[in-house]
Amino acid sequence: MAGKMTLDETINQVVTTIPECLAGGYVDITSGMLLSVKTVDSHPAAILDLVAAATKDMFAGQNVMMIESMFKKARGVADDGHHYFQEIIVNSDNLLHVFLRGKKYPDYVAVFVCRKTANLGMALTKARMGMPEIELAV
């Protein structure tokens, strides 16, 4: 295919590069909206919406924003909109969740869900490698 890939196509492509990846998505953490998703299984829209809302809370929730503001104040750093939380890894009973804030677009977060048996280092590395491609597709 010639030309720029769509966001959906790019998410699909990046998911295939991450070991044991079951799903990938892209969340606007300002609105809490899921902009793109690729899953190997079908999931109800309500579940996917909750994942997007939870992602927003983890990166831009009231308590997170307050903590960032307090750290900036304590360090004498200007509150210039920079965020401390860049990546979050969550290990649940059966899954590994990787959340990466965009560099070019910091109000957007890519989410990748892998089997718990996936190698964390490799999953994180491959997810990081996919971020520039995702941001080019936005």
**What is d(CA 100, CA 108) in angstroms, rounded to the nearest whole number?**
9
Q: Which residue type occupies 10?
A: T
* pTM of the predicted protein model: 0.91
Is 131 in a helix, a strand, or coil?
helix
Residue 53 token pair: 């809302």
Residue 25, phi-psi category: left (phi > 0), alpha (psi -120 to 50), beta (remainder): beta
pLDDT of residue 1: 47
Length of the chain: 138
Top-tier CATH class for 7-137? alpha beta
Measured CA distances, 83 to 18, 47, 68, 107, 108 (Å): 26, 27, 7, 10, 12
Tens digits of pLDDT across the chain (138 residues): 456 899 999 999 999 999 999 999 999 999 999 999 998 877 777 788 888 999 999 999 999 999 989 989 999 988 888 888 899 999 999 999 999 999 999 999 999 999 999 999 999 999 999 999 999 999
Q: Which residue type occupies 138?
A: V
**What is d(CA 77, CA 49) in angstroms, rounded to the nearest whole number?**
35
pLDDT of residue 2: 53
DSSP per residue over 43-87, as a string? --HHHHHHHHHHHHHHHH-HHHHHHHHHHHHHHT----S--S--E
